Structure 1
């Protein structure tokens, strides 16, 4: 596996994604093949990584994944020249309890893989004091190496000089300094960035980011630092249970939140994925033996889904004889109704006696550990699954059997237990707000 770096920061909103995408696009323009990864449970950033690098980006999650699973995902970097892994939140931010490998912090991945950290520091409103922050990050964990910092939102040459002086006094290397540039940014919505496929100017924006980063960051120094670190040993692919041999997978702007490592694992197990678009009123492939509806933004397309009569009727027919599973947005689309933010109710597929609403938004966020009371495609009753929940919907009606016993990372019970329903023809509908990441030990 090639050498790598973790791109992280003290907190969210400090410029990690701008630096990450700019680096990916800038190195690609130089003919350097870079494998991207995303630390933690993020469904949106990997699509931007793929657009910038030309390589599929996978998630690395220390709370949900065992070390063997993490190293198996890292093998996606085979053939690349460099690895860049974008962190989530702050470098050391995770949950209070340890999971499979760690707490979910990006620092866990840096320590496990031996990748040094490039820390993005927002220095607006400070100068030499930023060095105290960097020094704290350099010394908090002995197993995490700080390669240096990139100063972000620098106001002037004088501001940059003062910040650099503080870093020099603290023995922290400055790898770049980014002036304030509000135009170099991506639009956001309630679950994060607006999805990559929804941005018609994405290629142009990535080019602008590449030029901006290349002009203000020492790309050669980053490669040299990465080259000095040991590389992890290759391991075999970790087995992931596919939902079936032929999987009908909902795939469009309303249903796109599925972790890339799961798709790679399904394919590695020999499964064939058959994508279809509910928004285009397409039905799941009749030859499939399972159907999977990922999360996404059904609330933004509820009218179109309600009008997609062929999709809804054929999904009902499919569920009569074969398993259908929905995660978050897919789960909501399998219910009887969805109420959008303006209070309008839209008819959904009716596989569950479930009504969800976005009229009064309430955030549900965090890791989840579920013990299945009923099987889902790929996993039997009693299986323990680790995943993540992030949505703003509320349940108004729920009259189906619960799918699982669910707790958060602290062990506290979560009331959203999902739904399961059996059909006379032998089929089964299952779903929950829980996004699967990996099976628990």
Structure 2
């Protein structure tokens, strides 16, 4: 495996622009590029798939075991000429104190032997970037710094001053991107607007590739790529909940991790997509139904009026398992308040009443033990997941909990989610099953 990881000191430094530009630029050269994303982000991988021309995976050193990380990386990058991984937040940002298991991008680079291509926003500074680059080089002895890309460079003099300061330390400057706000991707409350919703997304990524190809030394980056041979000896991170899985998939239900779907297919499961926004019901031949997260709060009126979908879902749930994550969980409840405070009736399969009008940020890793047997596993089976939403719970109803959940910071377990018969739901997105040895 040959590749590198794009990292920065903080969010907003230009990782995504550089990553997408590099993926498309190398793909244009005829390279087979395998994309990877560090952490629990479920939006960036869709952009990666467009830029690289092939699907990737999320890798997470907190939520996955080392064997799961290696196996997913091996299966995702097989036969690729070049692996490009995008970090999350700052390169060293993570949780907990277990070495190699903090969820940081640095953990993934170290686990896979990937050198780090460090991008730094030099707005408001010039020679001081050298102090940051030196800190990145020295802070974690597991890592190799392949070089620096300067971002938002204001002038040739600005570029020269920053470059000379960094290279005086023996650290290569492999590119300098000028300020270019016109290629920025649009955002909303949970991050980037989804790739499938952006008009002209191919042209936008081409513009990023043009910028990167003109201002970054692709040949030196390719020559410095490195990695290690990875074993493919583990199981998929999350076993399928059935062999024929009806999967809600449209602009309201789109937050699915690529590694989860790939693992299900590798285990022989068949994915049967349907669109609630198009008023489609789950396939009656399926043996379970999955409503992923997304943006139901932006489409609540259409969902409430989708009688074929809601009635079909209710009928399906009388005989087979149904699970909802985050937005899907909200739709399984009795009602959802939109941003204006208007209540929309949902499926009523669980007692949850939620509100997007009363916004409150919920963010972080979750470790969950099932509070009863489900299609995911037996009572007590342990999973990791991630929660990120702004909805408030007005009422959970009288349903039993789906799981006993703790966070990554030592908070004790507490009941979470809902379970009624074969219908389950939670605000956290499942990432991997990690039962204790």
Query: Contact between 2:279 and 2:309, CA under 8 Å: does it hold in 1?
Result: yes
Secondary structure in structure 2 of the residue aligned to 1:371: strand
Give the deviation of 1:418 after TM superposition: 0.1
CA 1:414/1:190 → structure 2, altered by over 3 Å: closer, same or farther? farther
Query: Contact between 1:370 and 1:384, CA under 8 Å: does it hold in 2?
Result: yes
Q: Which residue of 2 aligns with 1:348?
A: 346
Give 1:2-41 correspondences, 5 Å limit: 2-41=1-40
The gaps in structure 2 that reach 5 residues or longer are: none
Whole-angstrom distance in 1 between the partners of 2:220 and 2:188:
35
Give the deviation of 1:377 after TM superposition: 2.1
Give the deviation of 1:170 after TM superposition: 1.8
Whole-angstrom distance in 2 between the partners of 1:350 and 1:50:
36
Whole-angstrom distance in 1 between the partners of 2:219 and 2:265:
36
Q: Which residue of 1 aligns with 2:92?
A: 92
Give 1:293-312 correspondences, 5 Å limit: 293-312=291-310
Confirm or deny that 1:433 pairs with 2:430. Answer: no
Whole-angstrom distance in 2 between the partners of 1:304 and 1:230:
48
Give 1:250-265 correspondences, 5 Å limit: 250-265=248-263
In the TM superposition, what whole-angstrom CA distance separates every residue of 1:339-362 from its partner, at most 9, and x where no partner exists?
Answer: 011111111111011110011211
Query: Contact between 2:365 and 2:385, CA under 8 Å: does it hold in 1?
Result: yes
Query: Contact between 1:178 and 1:216, CA under 8 Å: does it hold in 2?
Result: yes
TM-score for the superposition, normalised by structure 2? 0.97
Query: Contact between 1:63 and 1:98, CA under 8 Å: does it hold in 2?
Result: no
CA 1:257/1:230 → structure 2, altered by over 3 Å: closer, same or farther? closer
In the TM superposition, what whole-angstrom CA distance separates every residue of 1:89-145 from its partner, at most 9, and x where no partner exists?
Answer: 00000012439x510000000001100000110001011111100100100011111
Secondary structure in structure 2 of the residue aligned to 1:351: coil
Query: Contact between 2:5 and 2:109, CA under 8 Å: does it hold in 1?
Result: yes
Whole-angstrom distance in 2 between the partners of 1:88 and 1:71:
19
Give the deviation of 1:375 after TM superposition: 2.6
In the TM superposition, what whole-angstrom CA distance separates every residue of 1:201-248 from its partner, at most 9, and x where no partner exists?
Answer: 10110111110100000011110000xx34223413524421101111
Whole-angstrom distance in 1 between the partners of 2:295 and 2:7:
27
Whole-angstrom distance in 1 between the partners of 2:354 and 2:414:
14
The gaps in structure 1 that reach 5 residues or longer are: 423-427
Q: Which residue of 2 aligns with 1:63?
A: 62
Whole-angstrom distance in 2 between the partners of 1:279 and 1:237:
37
Secondary structure in structure 2 of the residue aligned to 1:215: helix
CA 1:416/1:185 → structure 2, altered by over 3 Å: closer, same or farther? farther
Q: Which residue of 1 aligns with 2:122?
A: 123
Query: Contact between 2:150 and 2:173, CA under 8 Å: does it hold in 1?
Result: yes
Secondary structure in structure 2 of the residue aligned to 1:159: helix
Give the deviation of 1:413 after TM superposition: 4.0
Q: Which residue of 2 aligns with 1:425?
A: none
Whole-angstrom distance in 1 between the partners of 2:28 and 2:51:
10
Give the deviation of 1:416 after TM superposition: 6.9
TM-score for the superposition, normalised by structure 1? 0.96
Whole-angstrom distance in 1 between the partners of 2:129 and 2:170:
13
Query: Contact between 1:387 and 1:435, CA under 8 Å: does it hold in 2?
Result: yes
- In the TM superposition, structure 1's runs of 4+ consecutive aligned residues that sit over 6 Å from their partners are none
Whole-angstrom distance in 2 between the partners of 1:263 and 1:182:
34
In the TM superposition, what whole-angstrom CA distance separates every residue of 1:278-300 from its partner, at most 9, and x where no partner exists?
Answer: 11110111011111111011001
The range that moved more, 252-261 or 37-46, is 252-261
Give 1:170-189 correspondences, 5 Å limit: 170-189=169-188
Give the deviation of 1:411 after TM superposition: 2.1
In the TM superposition, what whole-angstrom CA distance separates every residue of 1:262-317 from its partner, at most 9, and x where no partner exists?
Answer: 11111111111111111111011101111111101100111110010111111011
Secondary structure in structure 2 of the residue aligned to 1:326: strand
Whole-angstrom distance in 1 between the partners of 2:413 and 2:253:
24
Q: Alignment RMSD, CA only?
A: 1.2
| Matched residues, number | 432
